[in-house]
Structure 1
Amino acid sequence: MPVNAALKTYLETRRSIPAFQMSEPGPSRPEIEEMLRLASRVPDHGKLAPWRFIVYAGAERERISQELAKVAMANKPDMDDEMIAVEHSRLTRAPVVIAVISRAAPHVKIPEWEQVLSAGAVCLNLLMAANALGYAANWLSEWFAFDESVHPLLGVAAGERVAGFIHIGTPKMHPGERPRPDLADIVTFAGE
């Protein structure tokens, strides 16, 4: 089978860029829609589409960040100034943030675990789609992914879970390589 050299090189060098190291320009709406079309092409047993997207862009990122900061400060009143600044910028570090929402639920034929894994595959595909269109991307979860009291603010419905927040923008810098696991530590060949 012929090797797709460009894809192989991409997979060998793929890196996430921290959200705080992103800036404008971010993707346009047509680019976002293309990313979401690409991200949706994942294994999906039963064709359930057990996930959906919420796109945070423009002034809405600032509004939600301010509301999240109020909740964070109420939950932790002794927060230092540096963390307060972080809380105020949760969704404004990158020009666009896309939440991948898992809608995994019991099903007569499709295990819930497979549905959850499908949402994870969507997150990775969204990272790769952003990269394919020339943008940096970072998959984060953050505290508010797990705090159901703020889910209505984020647009997350009851029974849904956040698989990740994908931050997308233009990189301010290019990171170096990071340590990767040695295959000998993570691979078992059955029968050997």
Structure 2
Amino acid sequence: MGVRTQIRAEYGGEVTTLRTAHTSDLPAAELRAARALLDEAFDGDFSDQDWDHGLGGVHALVHDETGALLAHGSVVQRRILHNGRSLRIGYVEAVAVRPSMQRQGLGGQVMGALERVIDGAYALGVLSASAEGERLYLARGWVAWKGTVGAIGPDGVIQLPDEDAPLLWGADLDPSYELLFDWRDGDIL
């Protein structure tokens, strides 16, 4: 069984519970609820590959007092190459808040839990922010990468000049060296 924490907090008059758990410790019904929340929050623009990218790591879930899922995010392990070093990173995926509950601090609750996981288990954190989510991350201390990015693909290094700069947490990396991400199907970042 994975590590679980519970924090009760009041947001907008509702009592919420934050829980963290590894994918393997989440029952199928809770995973289905998370996927449904992501579909709702991203207005149907959350693919099966996007969902797959968020599995296999630690999830942060916020429920209301009735048990309804209000917010979700996960952090999964990935690798980057930077300046001749391979770094184990915590990559944040699948962050969403139920649309009717946005702008009430629940995204911050989720990110606080994920940042604690990153601080305790990884060299740094990385995420690719939507235009709507970027403000939350920057306000929490995430910083935009100033260098170039690429990926190590099946046929070698692939440059990603059209990708938006990822955001980094707890990083002190030299932007004169590119970040090379591990390969995955779908969106690389």
> When the two structures are superposed, what TM-score results if normalisation uses the length of structure 1?
0.30
TM-score with structure 2 length normalisation? 0.31
Q: Return the structure number with greater relative CO, CA threshold 8 A, min gap 6.
A: 1
The answer to which structure has the higher helix fraction is 1
Q: Which protein has the bigger strand share?
A: 2
Give 1 or 2 for the bigger CA radius of gyration.
1
